[in-house]
Amino acid sequence: MPSIEVCFFETKKALKEAGIAEYEAETGVIFEHLGIGRMKRLLDGKEELSEELYEKLSLMVEKRRTGYPLAYITGIKNFAGFDFKVDENVLIPRFDTENLVEEIRRYCKGKRVLDLCTGSGCIIIALSLLGDIASGVGTDLSPKALEIARENAKRLHADNVKFFCGDLFDALVNVNEQVDQKQDALQEERSSAENERFDIIVSNPPYIRTQVIETLEKQVREYEPRMALDGDGDGLKFYRKICRGAKRWLTPSGILAFEIGFDQADEVSALMKENGFSGIRLIKDLNGLDRVLVGFADLEEKDHV
């Protein structure tokens, strides 16, 4: 078998030739996943790679060369400092979405938070672990995505977060019926979903225009779940539905917050205003692009700060 350092060099070369821009960083991630960190490479680089690890490495490199996302290969994606399990049933968490988490952390201590289109659960779980929320609920239309979300909550000990299946707010109706019947204590503790209200609603909904999806990079358009990307013809389908329904599920001074596409701030702000939200704030990401909108159900923003 080739040595560790030779395998590392050959992996970088293969990924670079496949046109992967971050080939060096990704090679490091692949070797870390194999249990060969930077220090071991430096100290034991002359050692031969075991046959078992060489076979695993070859399979991972071949998959990545086809454009298959690295996060799906390793099954892990770091988000907000935590490693989340991911697979083809969930959108891979993006660094851009951390802007939404960071903004809502300003408001969420001791609050009840609802995360719509939760996917892997990364937003609501991160808010549970970093934001000291009272409780969290994530909803998603995909049962398979929610399996991943529940596993992430369990792995990361986000014990105050629950997940329910359905189309946006529909998942909250008769929510107790979705709870495992073995969890009788939980059913007794929770109020009926018909009476549930949240202090904050957050969402990173599908917002890519349908016609734009085919122009996205291969690893996104071919492998990530289309239902987590497609925001219909104008990209605003889910913003409309959420804005219309949000006040029904918010406390009187509740907060609604979205991740948005870089060119959607005006349109989504208008939808929020049309549905009774004021004091709307726009937050840009580190690249200076419009990324997060926060609106308030009450008339004065100062009441929420």
Max CA separation in the chain (angstroms): 68
pLDDT at position 245: 94
pLDDT at position 179: 52
pLDDT at position 181: 45
- 47-72 average pLDDT score: 94
pLDDT at position 192: 47
pLDDT in tens, 140-150: 999 999 999 99
- 285-293 average pLDDT score: 95
pLDDT in tens, 91-130: 999 999 999 999 999 999 999 999 999 999 999 999 999 9
The angle that helices 4-17 and 51-65 make with each other, rounded to 10 degrees, is 10
Lowest mean pLDDT among 6-20, 29-43, 190-204: 190-204
* Distance separating alpha carbons of residues 44 and 62, to the nearest angstrom: 25
Distances (CA, A) of 253 to 107, 153, 269, 277: 12, 28, 18, 10
State the chain's mean pLDDT as an integer: 90
| φ, ψ at 14 (rounded to 5°) | -65, -40
Checking if the pLDDT of 64 tops 90, the result is: yes
12 vs 304: which has the higher pLDDT: 12
Interacting residues of 29 by C-beta distance below 8 A, sequence separation 6+: 70, 74
258: amino acid identity, one letter: F
Residue matched to tokens 């990364």: 122
pLDDT at position 40: 87
pLDDT at position 1: 83
Q: What angle do CA 169, 173, 177 make, to 5 degrees?
A: 130
DSSP label at residue 121: S
Task: For domain 89-304, give the CATH superfamily.
Answer: Vaccinia Virus protein VP39 (3.40.50.150)
pLDDT at position 241: 96
pLDDT at position 182: 46
pLDDT in tens, 156-209: 999 999 999 999 999 998 555 555 544 554 444 344 455 679 999 999 999 999
pLDDT at position 91: 96
Would you list the domain boundaries of the chain?
4-66, 89-304
